[in-house]
Amino acid sequence: MNTIKFWKFWSIEVVMFVSLYVGLVHLGAWDFILANDFTYISLINLVILVLSSLMVGYQVIKKVKKGTELQWYMADTVLSLGMVGTLFGFLMVLYSTFQGIDVTDSDSMKRAIETLATSMGTALLTSLVGLISSIIMKLQLIVLETSDEKV
């Protein structure tokens, strides 16, 4: 096993998992995601990120140099899923926020603003999680595919 490649990969993994733990548990991002992403695309992206990390880790440890097409596809997929979540959020804003709204009724306006905030939260949250997941996955793949030669 190439120890330099392993330690690069391991460093990325430790930073990623510690960041996920701190962000999701201690900073409350888990509850925030569950409350604001009605599509659950952000959670799907996080699961794909963890699965891809495990696959890359296996390839680093076993010195597998080929077969990263699936992981590259997964990295693009989380980005695409983030954009799908953005579209869902925008569609929710356009089609359900202002239907049946009575501008003279304050409760109707409050419901419209709540729906607007939830929909925009979903749109932005899914994009953010997709972008971050894709960046991390691509970084792992670059480490995996770098040459074993010493510089």
What is the model's pTM? 0.80
What's residue 83's pLDDT?
93
Span 50-63, pLDDT tens digits: 999 998 888 888 87
| Contact criterion met (CB below 8 Å) for 42 and 129 | yes
pLDDT digits over 2-43, tens only?
A: 677 788 888 888 888 888 888 888 888 888 888 888 889 999
Q: Hey, what amino acid is at 43?
A: L
User: Does 151 have pLDDT greater than 50?
Assistant: no
Give the confidence band of 74 by pLDDT, cuts at 50, 70, 90.
Answer: very high
- Cα separations (Å) of 22 from 5, 15, 33, 139? 26, 10, 14, 21
Please, are residues 87 and 136 in contact by the beta-carbon 8 Å criterion?
Answer: no
pLDDT value of position 130? 93
